[in-house]
């Protein structure tokens, strides 16, 4: 994928007046007590929705929420999402009770240009995640044109992200275009030194990315729970820190690949440890390679923050995916805050890989101090690894 530029068919170039446009968005947002806890993903979709409305189209929005696994789960219905979207859009939103069927088709058919409809959670149908052609065809019958604006789901080959493009003219929404534009800078000719900062809870979710990234970047800084599998693989004593034991051979392979490519992998030298992950827990700052028995590493330590900050200051291009510790629980947010501050102070082109990292940067008030915060964690990583993303391929010009 990275050998050629990513040119997409743009929604701006579609003839939408008088048409019904099906738009795949990503409204997989946190809902607490029936209210949206973080509406950033909804806000990110508004430019495309407004463009279509102003262009004289009926707009039909499709999204998933959570993992209902093909069942109707009441708490994963999209009523709260619809209410919040209506507030942000300052325009009525007709939230429907299903995503396919005669009642849904009839409601949309009776609408007028400029109307906005929100289909029910597409993952209530098991055929969605299986990318069954029959379900994609049923969705396609609800509109004339398909727009994919769900970058965070573009690595999923589902009916509403991929299959539907077999039946309708497909275009990239404004958010999708923006994501590809900003991430392409890391694919085509990144200014060097180019460093990757990788954290998160477990090595399992990041190992594939690390295997590919060592071929693309100059250095890797590893923190979070991921670091303990690397430390363990190199013979460290890590107490009760989380380790993916069955992946240690693969971790060693990544380390060997980096050595063969003469790429530096930087691991923590010290960590903040505790006997339990609890707010206000007693902590010790200890050497990362000799964590006491009964203690677990839960954040990178001050010496590591300082050393990582030096590497960040020397970089020209930075991608960061995964917090440096259990940032959501005090007193284990210092490492993530320190890295965010170092990136904010850097002149490098910096990309935050969405997901937990985007949430952390937002909580720390640093979103505006980096070059770009992607809306997709897994999708961002897949693209930067050079993986082929079928849902994105379906939008190519």
**Which of the residues are catalytic?**
41, 202, 355, 378
> How far is residue 306's CA from residue 17's CA, in Å, rounded to a whole number?
56
Could you tell me the maximum CA-CA distance found in the chain, to the nearest angstrom?
68
Burial of 110 (0-12, 13-18, 19+ CB in 10 A): exposed
Token code pair at residue 26: 């990503």
43 and 88 Cβ atoms separated by less than 8 Å: yes
* C-alpha–C-alpha distance, residues 251 and 273, integer Å: 23
Determine which helix (DSSP H) or strand (DSSP E) holds 285, and give its type and residue range.
strand 283-287
Compute the residue count for the chain. 397
DSSP structural state of residue 389? -
The number of beta carbons lying within 10 Å of the beta carbon of residue 27 is 26
CB atoms inside a 10 Å sphere around CB 26: 26
Nearest-angstrom CA–CA distance, 395 and 397: 6
Q: How far apart are CA 396 and CA 176, in angstroms?
A: 12
Count of CB atoms situated within 10 Å of the CB of 260: 9
Per the rule left: phi > 0, alpha: psi between -120 and 50, beta: everything else, 372 is beta
The DSSP bridge pattern shows strands 296-300 and 270-274 to be antiparallel
Whole-number Å distance between alpha carbons of 272 and 302: 9
Q: Distance between CA 22 and CA 31 in Å, rounded?
A: 24
């Amino acid at each position: 994928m990275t050998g050629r530029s990513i040119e997409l068919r743009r929604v701006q170039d579609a003839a939408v007046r008088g048409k019904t446009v099906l738009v795949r968005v990503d409204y997989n947002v946190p809902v607490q007590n029936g209210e949206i806890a973080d509406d950033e993903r909804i806000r990110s979709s508004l430019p495309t929705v407004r463009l279509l409305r102003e262009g004289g189209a009926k707009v039909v929005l499709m999204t998933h929420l959570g993992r209902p696994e093909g069942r109707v789960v009441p708490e994963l219905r999209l009523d709260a999402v619809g209410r919040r979207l209506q507030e942000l859009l300052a325009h009525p939103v007709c939230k429907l009770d299903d995503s396919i069927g005669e009642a849904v088709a009839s409601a949309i058919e009776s609408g007028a240009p400029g109307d906005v409809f929100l289909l029910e959670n597409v993952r209530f149908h098991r055929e969605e995640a299986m990318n069954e052609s029959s379900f994609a065809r049923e969705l396609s019958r609800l509109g004339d044109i398909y727009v994919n604006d769900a970058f965070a789901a573009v690595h999923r080959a589902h009916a509403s992200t991929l299959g539907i493009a077999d039946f309708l003219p497909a275009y990239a929404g404004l958010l999708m275009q923006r994501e590809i534009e900003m991430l392409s800078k890391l694919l085509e000719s990144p200014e060097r030194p180019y460093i990757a900062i990788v954290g998160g809870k477990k090595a399992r979710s990041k190992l594939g990315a690390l295997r590919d990234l060592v071929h693309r970047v100059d250095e890797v800084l590893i923190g979070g729970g991921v670091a303990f599998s690397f430390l363990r693989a190199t013979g460290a004593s890590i107490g009760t820190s989380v380790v993916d034991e069955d992946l240690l051979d693969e971790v060693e392979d990544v380390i060997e690949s980096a050595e063969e490519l003469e790429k530096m992998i930087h691991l923590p030298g010290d960590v903040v440890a505790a006997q339990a992950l609890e707010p206000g827990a007693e902590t010790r700052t200890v050497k990362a390679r000799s964590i006491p028995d009964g203690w677990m590493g839960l954040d990178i330590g001050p010496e590591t923050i300082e050393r990582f900050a030096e590497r960040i200051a020397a970089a020209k291009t930075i991608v960061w995916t995964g917090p440096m510790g259990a940032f959501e629980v005090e007193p284990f947010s210092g490492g993530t805050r320190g890295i965010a501050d170092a990136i904010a102070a850097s002149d490098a082109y910096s990309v935050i890989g969405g997901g937990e990292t985007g949430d952390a940067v937002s909580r720390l008030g640093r979103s505006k101090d980096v070059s770009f915060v992607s809306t997709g964690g897994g999708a961002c990583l897949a693209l930067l690894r050079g993986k082929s993303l079928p849902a994105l391929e379906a939008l190519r010009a």
